[in-house]
Amino acid sequence: MQKANLLIDLHYLPSLEYFVLLQQFETVTIDCHENYQKQSFRNRCYINTTNGNQKLIIPVVDGNKKVNIKEVKIDYNQKWLNVHWRGIESGYGKSPYFLYYEAFFNEALHKKPIYLFDLNIELLTYCLKLLKIKTKIIFTDKYIDTHSNDYIDYRNLIDPKKDFKLNHIYLPYMYQQIFGKVFESNLSIIDLLFCEGNRSLEILLKSSVRLQEQIE
């Protein structure tokens, strides 16, 4: 693990790339003083279903305004929650580890927390526990300037509008997925957890560009 402090934004059921990055650091600082960025992984993820990849988006209140990320409220007037859970059940109900993990994810989503940040951090904390990743998560107490020398600043680097290959973090290592003949890379971490269970961390390690470079 690197002793440097990584600074990053908080995502919803983050991608494999996100976790490949986190597991490389002893300490990761989550930015909780940034403004919310729409059309980002802060409120969306991708899962695998019988109809191909499905994008799950959490609608938020006043998402077009400059709002501190911790003050962004989830919009429950829209019926997104049932869509998300039906998608997860449809995609992973027959996966080897669905019955082991589904209760927590179901409960966390159906608690209906007011704030997006609170939901995301609960999901992240649980996923790190399942993966047995020892990285310490801390939070900013103020906005950190982009030119700070105290952090490796990866905020906004992992973005749905950007090809993950350009980041040189995640090198897909294939595992057995439920649907399709072509491996779908860099989906939400739940794809890996439901499909591979306690082998998930091993696969993340094998998906690390940094580790692959060391081996070569």
CA 95 vs CA 51, 53, 100, 103, 197: distances in Å: 16, 16, 10, 14, 10
What percent of the chain is predicted at pLDDT more than 70?
97
pLDDT of residue 215: 37
The tokens for 193 are 């957890």
Between CA 11 and CA 101 the distance in angstroms is 19
Nearest CA-CA partner of 130 in 106, 105, 151, 153: 105
pLDDT in tens, 107-157: 999 999 999 999 999 999 999 999 999 999 999 999 898 777 889 999 999
- CB 156, CB 7: distance < 8 Å: no
pLDDT-based confidence at 210, cuts 50/70/90? low
Residue 107, burial from CB neighbour count under 10 angstroms (0-12, 13-18, 19+): exposed
pLDDT in tens, 144-170: 987 778 899 999 999 999 999 999 999
pLDDT of residue 2: 79
Between CA 84 and CA 102 the distance in angstroms is 13
pLDDT of residue 214: 45
Structural domain boundaries in the chain: 2-215
Average of per-residue pLDDT across 48-70: 92
Mean pLDDT of the chain: 93
Strand partners, 60: 74
| Phi-psi domain of 213 (left: phi exceeds 0; alpha: psi -120 through 50; beta: other) | alpha
- CB 119, CB 143: distance < 8 Å: no
Nearest CA-CA partner of 190 in 126, 138, 117: 126
CA 152 to chain centroid, in Å, comes to: 19
Say what the pTM is. Answer: 0.94
pLDDT of residue 84: 97
Average of per-residue pLDDT across 59-75: 93
Q: What is the DSSP letter of 197?
A: G
What percent of the chain is predicted at pLDDT more than 90?
85
